[in-house]
Chains A and B, each alone.
Chain A
Amino acid sequence: MNNYKNILWHYKNTVLATLVVVLSTGNFSCKKIEDVESNRLASEANNWKKYEDARANLLSVYGLLRSATVSDNTHWLMGDLRQGDFKITNRADLKAIVDGQLNAQFPVINRITNWRRFYAAINAASLFIERSKEIVGLDPRYTQVQNNVEVAQARMVRAMAYFYMVRIWGDVPLLTTSHDGDFIQVPRTNKDIVLQFATSELLNAAEIVPFAYGGTDPIFPGTYYGQSTAAWVGTIFTRLSAYILLAHISAWQGNYLDASRYSKFVIDNYPTANARSTGAANIVLLSIDALTENLNYYSPFAFKRSTLLIGFPFEYGTGLATADGHLEQLTLAAPYIPKTRPEMFVSKDTILKAFTDPGDLRFSFDTKTNTYRKNYFTNFSSEEPVFSKIKVVYPSATSGNTVLFASSLVFSRLEEMILLYAEANAALGNLAQAVSVLNSYTENRGTTKYDPLVNGSSQIAVLKAIFAERRRELMGEGWRWYDLVRYNRIVKAPGIFIVKNGQPLTFRQFEEAGGIYWPVSQDVINANPKITQNPYWK
């Protein structure tokens, strides 16, 4: 009987249970079930709302340009290899670049000749310029002043991307708005128009951005996103950055009057930046140890430092040490990292030709210890000396077993600006000023000062000396090819510069044929039929 009761009880409950199921199927909201918010992305509804959104979007603009310049080691492959000082041990793609075979069929060459990555940075910058103002009304922490400063930063990044591309490809399509979601086809724009745009953007931005962030600059005082200057040096663009870019654009255009004006501004005003910083080390002329041994607080390569006037850091402490994207991947080997041979090196001949000063701390024979100085080159006596100037091995040491590197991409530092200022003066015929500027940091390098009476007083001699110093000082910083172009433009040398398919070309003929530029990847042309191949590479 008891069992019957149980069964009955059970029966009732089961019916109830069934009812619960059947009824409950009808009375919930379909909407709720179907709205699953992804936590893998920020939708249009969630972005451009808060103070932090501005930071995340702005820093990505920098991040994208960093990726564009370092991916597959673009900066060095394009800057240091072509007619440069490096010899390749093994890699066929690098050999092709050294030999000027820039359309050789290698994946890396195909990837670096695809300009999409620069346009990603440009598009992100344009989007920031267009959209970030929305935050001003929505988040009271985000002021109009801050927005102006950040929009100006985005303009500077975009201008740099255009300048960087013009150096590589000449005429490139100029897009000044994001065209968000609208995939228009734009043909190449004349390089002068592109540079004109970049110049006006930079001049505009230079008026708005401070000399230092998170410091005491009256334009934008106080901490920046809660951080003082120390957190922001070497990462985001300041007023000095704007003038450095302006100086370079002018020099590239052969407008040395402006180049001289802008570079002088940087040299005159870096103390202002120092004065308006809080908690950061000063911008200084680098000692040899700061330059090559990552010592003290001034290395432009390790960490992120004030001395990095324009560049992109890869701080290990923020999880950004990488294998690709650093010169060390190409040049370092034992004894610094566990790798038997570097992928490229500077041959003994070249070293001896470039470093002629017996007191040069970068490279010379040290008579005290009877050894060659190792600051720039290690194992000089071997077949393949290791180019060891730049060595920021995880974490930020000069050597290590983990083949991840944390060195910044250094686009410009004070010495580079000084040499550009000297170059501008020499090009303009202000030789005395040029020589005096050229001699402004010889103490740090242990070199003898240039003496026109001894070393030559002609414009050519001074120019040669300046470019020789650029070659030494900026070796491995991605300048060599562009320096060669500027030098040859100034000196207008009549000799044969290159032989293409058996046909000798002077520099002028070479430049007019478009030879100073890289071919653009076929992938770019396939995606936009309005893009034409650079004629030299057709």
Chain B
Amino acid sequence: MIKIYISKVMLLLLFVFASPSVFAIERFNVAMASNFSVQQQDTAKRDTAKYANKTDTIGQMIRAMQKFKGIRDTIDIRSAKLVPNLSLQQMLKGNLAGVYVQEPNGEPGTEQSMIIQGVSGLLFQRKDVYALQPAIYVNGVPLIADNPFAFDVQKYDYNRIGPATNHLAQISMDNIQSIVVVKDPYELAKLGPNAANGAIYITTKNARAGKRDISLNSYFGYVTAPKVNTVNGAYENNFRSQFYQKYNPTQKYASYLRDSTNVSYFGPSNWTDLYQQTSPIYSANLGITGGTERANFRFFGSGTKNAGNADETNLDQYNLFFGINMAPFNWLTVSTSVNAARLDRERNRSYRDRFAETRYLPDLSTPPSPNASNYSSYLNEVEKMVDNNRNTILNGNFSLAAKIGKVSLTSSLLFNYNEGVRDYFVPSTLMAGSSYVSNYFGYSQRMAINNVASYRYEVNKSNAIDFELGQTLQGDTHKYNYARAYNGPNDYVKLTFVDGREFINGVANPGYLNVLTNTSFYVFRYIDKERSNLMSFYGSAKYSYKNLLTLSALLRRDGASNGQPDSRWVTTPAFNVNWNLKEQFLAKSSGIDALHLSGGWGRTLRIFLDDRFAAGPQYRSENGWEEEPTIPGYSQYLGINRPYNSGFIGYGLRLPYSNRTSITLDGTFMKSRLSVALTAYNRNDKAGVLGVPVPLELGYVSNYRSGLDINNKGLELLVNANMLQNNAGFSWSTGLNLSYNCNKLKALPGALTELVYQNDNKLVVGQSVGSYWLYSNVGIYNTDAEVPAGRTFNGIPMKKGDPQFVDYNGDNTITSQDKVLTGDRLPNFIGGWNNSFSYMNFDLNFNFIFAAGQKAINQYDATRYGFVNREASSDINAVREVSSWQTSTNAINYPIYDPWSPVNAYRTDQDLFLEDASYAKLRSVTLGYDFAKSSLLKKSLRRVYLYATALNVFTLTKFSGIDPELINYNGIYDAANITIPRTFVLGFKLDL
């Protein structure tokens, strides 16, 4: 069906462009109504700034929004442009109320998460995070994200297979006109199921009429290597001696720590010389805009080099944008824009990521040496690796807007294509004699057609109704081909190949195109594809009474192919009221410039990311086990069976939905010097599907059922103030956003009040879904006599040196019954504080961000103290990186338990390692000088601006690790990630 649509659009393009004189229209000097200088038609019309009576187009929307710049959940573009952020998430971090950005890794281009107004689902596994992400719109195009279905064929979920690059590093800040977070229930309902988790609406600078406008921007700077307290084997020995002395004086130390003359471990710990780098970063871009009222264009091109401060990680980003608007008639506008990006990423060379990709764990009892000379010999082999990661991204739209009388029609085609390629090769020298190669090609593609008709009916001067009808058809495709192979003929052959001879001497070749018969590489192939369609209709009406009151109502019907056949079509309503209090009651008040009260309620459908739920009871090829998850079958044939390993799927799984309520009071006071907005929201995410634990005697890990309800409540405060503005030219303006969120599990499927989720987590109605489930550690048994008689831990008699856990149910045995929910993975308070000072031609900006209330499990310390088990296991969590040879200045001293005890004293499922990960950061400082204000250059240049920015300046935190941001989505701090670098840049902005 999508194809039919595409062909129709092609036909349409032909109709419009087939005429050779298409550009001749420029010659006609027809006076145009002002609202024809539209820049971009957006079919999902929105009026986020509800104060504008009629905001039909994106262009108007932006203008409307600029009136409230800084106060209505938009990014302060002017100051954001001066910060060398790479990704959208970094741009937003701390700057939008209610948007929590997690940047768990300083490696440029790695995936980052955004959560708007609390989580709507679980976040225990990597793929859960994908389902929590908001929709990102670029010029009205809802960007398609990588689908987590690839995790099905992965043994470890640290990274998705393929380049795993953050697609949202595609947009250059200098080409952005506005970034708005959409949280309003009515607006989200209008955007539809894509935006079930909220939306970030990005509008790029676009074509517009006017004198040719050229801007050139560039910066250059460095990411700096952090200061690290390195340690060597002597430190480690000293650390361990306390355990040996106390519990096991006769036991020999780990072999690598036995010989103190061994330079590899007891020599200088100078791995930092080779691991860390102060690396240059730079960027340059050029934007040209011009044209007439009837036809205008914009071109933008940029190139950026971003880098991490360690392991030679970096990312090259290239971005091209082209947009044109044409108005062939005064009733018709044609506009199109295309945004293309290419991302080339140099990834880290850590052991863990390599082992996870190759699924190969060597003997882990000996860690890498902290000595640079040893490390360099390792790096020499690493140089022979190939790791190409390339993403090609294309998105854009083509739209027609016609206005005939009071009716306006818009039709647009939206497209988005992301392609990722990864070629990965590990030489045999790093894999104990067997080389490894993997190749990934994957894409995600979205095509959508939007049609909207709107009509304004003015009953009389004070009463008017705007009607709108809309229809959308959207088709998504996700696909990948992935092959990994072992044992190539030598380290020069980096490709798998097959025997291309169909016949040998006239006899059919049994090995023809068969990778498995070729002994040069042992190949495992994975091919997967998933398609889904979404079709929507909606109608809305907005009634306005003077400029006092507007009432809006919307009804939409969405059908999703990923829903089960009997429940895939769902009708959802939304309402909105906006009341101008100033006009109503305080028209004469001089201290109050504006005061509005608005409220809305809306329901949004949420669509499964996975197509398996639509099928109901099913059979899959799931024959493997945890360590070998991708066993294709038995003997020489593919096998299919019920999804025992992933969970039973029955009928009756409805599509989940969100009910949102929000009330906002906002006002502008003191001649617009102070503006304040306060929002309260309440969101109920209903009918979520959850794998409910079932008796394991039926063979299934879980049974998927509908009925997970999660509530998020919160308050958001925005304050913008011009604190000072004196005649001497000094001014200070400040902006604060502060959000509070409270997450609560409201219901579980089948009216359960609690359940143990996949053995390691517990969900309890009334508690936050991000809670940890831990044993309560209250000390140590110093002697056997201190242990209460008969006290066991899961059947193991407790002894001297074991941790003292609270026996909540008093049965004298510590089991998972004695674990309690405590701490939250997500913060309660987030926000940012932005300050701009200006004096004469100088200006200075400080940006603070903070997050409070989240807790983390310090797995790094858990494995450091539990070294006995770590070095005696073959678990990927036991992998040590060279960067583990360091200490943190605020490291915690934990009790000295018996690390040999079968109780596993330093287990991570206890509150011993639970830490407060709240932080406040001075994220950026910018000092700028505007030459344009000096008359020197005024004639030839519109603007010359020089600036210097420092990014990630300092952090205030109690957290004992390196940085409280480097905590993984699941709350685990493993110190395996590259740190977020302190960055300094110098840049200029030139407008001709």
Interface residues of A (CB under 8 A from B): 2-3, 6-7, 9-11, 13-14, 16-18, 20-22, 24-25, 28, 30, 32-36, 38-44, 47, 53, 55-57, 59-64, 66-67, 70-72, 90-93, 95-96, 101, 103-107, 111, 114-117, 119-124, 127, 173, 175, 179-186, 225, 231-232, 235-236, 304, 312-313, 315-325, 337-341, 343, 394-395, 400-404, 501, 519, 522-524, 526-528, 530-531, 533, 537-538
The smallest beta-carbon distance between B813 and chain A, in angstroms, is 8
B1-56 contacts to A, CB under 8 A, are 1, 4-5, 8, 11-12, 15-16, 18-22, 24-25, 27-28
Q: How far is the CA of A320 from the CA of B693 in the complex (A)?
A: 30
CB neighbours of B84 from chain A (8 A): none
In the complex, 16 of the A-B residue pairs with CB atoms within 8 angstroms, ordered by the A residue number, are A7-B24, A14-B15, A40-B611, A60-B633, A60-B641, A62-B639, A71-B625, A103-B795, A116-B699, A123-B698, A175-B697, A317-B517, A318-B636, A340-B363, A501-B797, A526-B759
For the complex, would chain B's binding face be called helix, strand, loop or mixed by DSSP majority?
Answer: mixed
Q: How far is the CA of A16 from the CA of B12 in the complex (A)?
A: 9
Closest to A316 in B: B522
Q: How far is the CA of A537 from the CA of B700 in the complex (A)?
A: 25
Q: Does any Cβ of A come within 8 Å of B506's Cβ? A: no
**Interface pair A105/B794, CB less than 8 Å apart:** yes
Q: How far is the CA of A91 from the CA of B795 in the complex (A)?
A: 21
A121-B699 contact in complex given A41-B615, A57-B641, A105-B794, C-beta closer than 8 Å: yes
**Interface pair B871/A44, CB less than 8 Å apart:** no
CB neighbours of B643 from chain A (8 A): 41
**Interface pair A30/B535, CB less than 8 Å apart:** yes
CB neighbours of B902 from chain A (8 A): 96, 101, 103-105
A10-B642 contact in complex given A101-B902, A180-B617, A319-B524, C-beta closer than 8 Å: no
Q: How far is the CA of A356 from the CA of B453 in the complex (A)?
A: 93
Q: Does any Cβ of A come within 8 Å of B756's Cβ? A: yes
CB < 8 Å: which of A38, A111, A318, A404 contacts B614? A38
CB neighbours of B15 from chain A (8 A): 13-14, 16-17
**Interface pair B11/A183, CB less than 8 Å apart:** no
CB neighbours of B616 from chain A (8 A): 43-44
**Interface pair A90/B872, CB less than 8 Å apart:** yes
CB neighbours of A24 from chain B (8 A): 5, 8
Chain B CB within 10 Å — which of A62, A105, A235 has the most? A105
**Interface pair B693/A7, CB less than 8 Å apart:** no
Chain B CB within 10 Å — which of A38, A104, A181 has the most? A38
**Interface pair A183/B703, CB less than 8 Å apart:** yes
The smallest beta-carbon distance between B793 and chain A, in angstroms, is 8
**Interface pair A184/B695, CB less than 8 Å apart:** yes
Q: How far is the CA of A225 from the CA of B635 in the complex (A)?
A: 12
CB neighbours of A111 from chain B (8 A): 626
Closest to A234 in B: B635
Closest to A522 in B: B816
Report the 8 A-B pairs with minimum CB-CB distance, sorted nearest first: A401-B433, A60-B639, A71-B625, A338-B432, A120-B699, A123-B699, A63-B634, A528-B695
**Interface pair A32/B628, CB less than 8 Å apart:** no
Q: How far is the CA of A25 from the CA of B561 in the complex (A)?
A: 18
Q: How far is the CA of A104 from the CA of B328 in the complex (A)?
A: 78
**Interface pair B815/A114, CB less than 8 Å apart:** no
Chain B CB within 10 Å — which of A60, A179, A528 has the most? A60
CB < 8 Å: which of A21, A119, A322, A501 contacts B631? A322
**Interface pair A63/B19, CB less than 8 Å apart:** no
CB < 8 Å: which of B517, B628, B650, B793 contacts A325? B628
Interface residues of B (CB under 8 A from A): 1, 4-5, 8, 11-12, 15-16, 18-22, 24-25, 27-28, 149, 328-329, 332, 359-360, 362-363, 365, 400, 402, 409, 411, 428, 431-434, 449, 451, 453, 471, 473, 486-487, 516-517, 519, 522-524, 528-533, 535, 559-562, 565, 568-569, 611-612, 614-621, 623-628, 631-645, 648, 650, 693-701, 703, 756, 759, 793-797, 813, 815-816, 868-869, 871-875, 902-904, 907
CB < 8 Å: which of B16, B523, B631, B756 contacts A10? B16
A63-B451 contact in complex given A41-B615, A44-B618, A528-B697, C-beta closer than 8 Å: no
CB neighbours of A321 from chain B (8 A): 522
**Interface pair B628/A324, CB less than 8 Å apart:** yes
Chain B CB within 10 Å — which of A6, A121, A339 has the most? A6
The smallest beta-carbon distance between B603 and chain A, in angstroms, is 20
A527-B796 contact in complex given A34-B561, A313-B635, C-beta closer than 8 Å: no
Q: How far is the CA of A74 from the CA of B471 in the complex (A)?
A: 56
**Interface pair B532/A36, CB less than 8 Å apart:** yes
Q: How far is the CA of A10 from the CA of B22 in the complex (A)?
A: 8
**Interface pair B627/A72, CB less than 8 Å apart:** yes
CB neighbours of A107 from chain B (8 A): 875
A402-B635 contact in complex given A105-B907, A127-B642, A524-B696, C-beta closer than 8 Å: no
Q: A3-B27, A121-B699, A185-B695 are in contact. List 19 more A-B contacts (CB 8 A).
A: A7-B21, A14-B16, A18-B402, A21-B449, A22-B411, A36-B562, A41-B619, A42-B618, A60-B633, A67-B628, A92-B869, A103-B796, A105-B794, A117-B625, A119-B698, A123-B644, A325-B628, A403-B434, A524-B696
The smallest beta-carbon distance between B708 and chain A, in angstroms, is 17
CB < 8 Å: which of B16, B432, B620, B695 contacts A186? B695
The smallest beta-carbon distance between B34 and chain A, in angstroms, is 22
CB < 8 Å: which of A25, A66, A185, A401 contacts B428? A401
Q: How far is the CA of A35 from the CA of B561 in the complex (A)?
A: 6
Chain B CB within 10 Å — which of A10, A42, A236, A524 has the most? A10
CB neighbours of A180 from chain B (8 A): 617, 642
CB neighbours of A319 from chain B (8 A): 516, 523-524, 632
The smallest beta-carbon distance between B920 and chain A, in angstroms, is 37
Q: How far is the CA of A395 from the CA of B365 in the complex (A)?
A: 28
CB neighbours of A318 from chain B (8 A): 516, 633, 635-636
CB neighbours of A56 from chain B (8 A): 633, 637-640
The smallest beta-carbon distance between B536 and chain A, in angstroms, is 11
CB < 8 Å: which of A14, A32, A55, A402 contacts B434? A402
The smallest beta-carbon distance between A385 and chain B, in angstroms, is 18
**Interface pair B697/A67, CB less than 8 Å apart:** no
Closest to A6 in B: B21
**Interface pair A25/B471, CB less than 8 Å apart:** yes
CB neighbours of B328 from chain A (8 A): 7, 10, 14
Q: How far is the CA of A30 from the CA of B797 in the complex (A)?
A: 64
CB neighbours of B614 from chain A (8 A): 36, 38
The smallest beta-carbon distance between B149 and chain A, in angstroms, is 8
**Interface pair B433/A526, CB less than 8 Å apart:** no
CB neighbours of A127 from chain B (8 A): 642
**Interface pair B796/A105, CB less than 8 Å apart:** yes
CB < 8 Å: which of B411, B519, B559 contacts A33? B559
The smallest beta-carbon distance between B412 and chain A, in angstroms, is 10
CB < 8 Å: which of B22, B522, B617, B627 contacts A181? B617
CB neighbours of B813 from chain A (8 A): 538
CB neighbours of B20 from chain A (8 A): 6
Q: How far is the CA of A24 from the CA of B619 in the complex (A)?
A: 38
CB neighbours of A400 from chain B (8 A): 434, 487
Q: How far is the CA of A519 from the CA of B639 in the complex (A)?
A: 31
CB neighbours of A533 from chain B (8 A): 795
CB neighbours of B650 from chain A (8 A): 181
The smallest beta-carbon distance between B538 and chain A, in angstroms, is 13
Chain B CB within 10 Å — which of A30, A62, A231 has the most? A30
Q: How far is the CA of A323 from the CA of B621 in the complex (A)?
A: 20
The smallest beta-carbon distance between B819 and chain A, in angstroms, is 11
**Interface pair A64/B433, CB less than 8 Å apart:** no
**Interface pair A235/B635, CB less than 8 Å apart:** yes
**Interface pair B363/A40, CB less than 8 Å apart:** no
CB neighbours of B756 from chain A (8 A): 523, 526-527
A181-B434 contact in complex given A92-B872, A175-B698, A318-B516, C-beta closer than 8 Å: no
CB < 8 Å: which of A116, A320, A323, A341 contacts B363? A341
Q: How far is the CA of A528 from the CA of B903 in the complex (A)?
A: 24
CB < 8 Å: which of A41, A60, A394 contacts B487? A394
